[in-house]
Amino acid sequence: MLGKGLSDFILSLKPSKCIILCHHNADPDAIGSAYALSYLFNVLFPSMDVHIVAPEGISLLSSKLLSRLPSIDIYSDFDWADLAVMVDTCSFVQLGSISDKMADLDIPLIVIDHHLPSEEVKCKASLLIVNDNASSTAEIVFSIFEELKVDVNRDVAFALLVGLLYDSRRFIFASSNSFRMAAYLLDCGVDYGDVLNVLSTQMDVSERIARLKAAQRLKILRIKDWIIALSHVSSFEASAARALIDLGADLALVVGGEKELVRLSARSTKRFYEETGLHLGRDLMEPLGKLIHGGGGGHATAAGANGVGDVDYVLKICVKMLREKLS
């Protein structure tokens, strides 16, 4: 009864202003889910003011998604609120420039996500709506609409379907529920070609260069029969990690960032997770985030961490943790 629990909880609070928070450089799953939730809240709680907050901006694909939807304001910060909802965001570190502000803010917090939340978030959250078996946060938001019997209009359906396709990597990571949801949303009048157009874009030159530099700086490590790829770039570390997996690695670890502030992206194949049981978010990035005085988390096969340290130091810690967990 996730939807009923969400509705009853908000009704009990009677908030006047709610902020829906997305992670920095918010992707289409985060923005699509936030857009759908803002619509849902406006239907259920018309007197409540709802703002979507995306600190440090949104991704290029998210911008394309919003260009296809009725105009909606996306804020980079907020002055006050009496309710916060974190969407597709499992740690305060992912909130970038407002991470400390949120960690210290004493207001009710709802978390809606398909990533396992960090310990810090779990301790602070008033309500957790988390399913790490879902292919996307959009899938969880859709289930809330279904349970509360709120009609999904064409714009909401479009936003949710874009989010679903983006995070499931066009159904590579999907369940029967993902396909059932997609069929329902298409029946709402969404054109599948339009969804694909939003998700299709020419890769930025900077991102292509980052991928090539990651390959150029690549270090290969063998642990048992697994091929581990290690590299570093100044930006686009998540894209670089995906590229190294496509090149043949079982697990890719790519560090990005500037000066002492580092970001680490980890990606693995589904086979690596199934045979080792190593959950990148829970078993690697979350404990790593604490060790580098930051935070981390994510999925079984895609996760990340932010913190303090240099490239060699962070990768050295990762390799040590991997050896211990895989031995």
CA–CA dist 165, 28 (Å, integer): 9
d(CA 88, CA 26): 9
Full-model pTM: 0.84
Domain segments of the chain: what residues? Answer: 2-199, 205-326
pLDDT in tens, the chain (327 residues): 678 899 999 999 999 999 999 998 899 999 999 999 999 999 999 999 999 999 989 998 999 999 999 999 999 999 999 999 999 998 888 898 898 899 899 999 999 999 888 888 999 999 999 998 899 999 999 999 999 999 999 999 999 999 999 999 899 888 999 999 999 999 999 999 999 999 988 888 999 999 999 999 999 999 999 999 999 999 899 999 999 999 999 999 999 877 678 889 999 998 999 999 999 988 999 899 889 988 888 888 988 898 888 888 889 999 999 999 988
Q: What is the pLDDT of residue 259?
A: 67
Q: What is the amino acid identity at position 113?
A: D
Rounded Cα distance, 27 and 23, in Å: 8
HSE-CB at 168 with a 13 A cutoff on CA atoms is 26
CATH number of 2-199: 3.90.1640.10
DSSP assignment letter at 97: G
Could you tell me if 75 and 277 are in contact, meaning their C-beta atoms sit under 8 angstroms apart? Answer: no
Phi-psi region of 293 (alpha: psi -120 to 50; beta: other; left: phi over 0): left
* Helix/strand number for the chain, H first, E second: 14, 12
Burial status of residue 79 (CB atoms within 10 A of its CB: 0-12, 13-18, 19 or more): exposed
- Burial label for 202, CB within 10 Å (0-12, 13-18, 19+), is exposed
Q: Which residues lie below 8 Å from residue 33, measured CB to CB, with a gap of 6+?
A: 87, 88, 112, 136, 137, 138, 140, 141, 159, 160, 163
Token code pair at residue 252: 């890719």
The DSSP bridge partners found for residue 49 are: 17
The CATH number of 205-326 is: 3.10.310.40
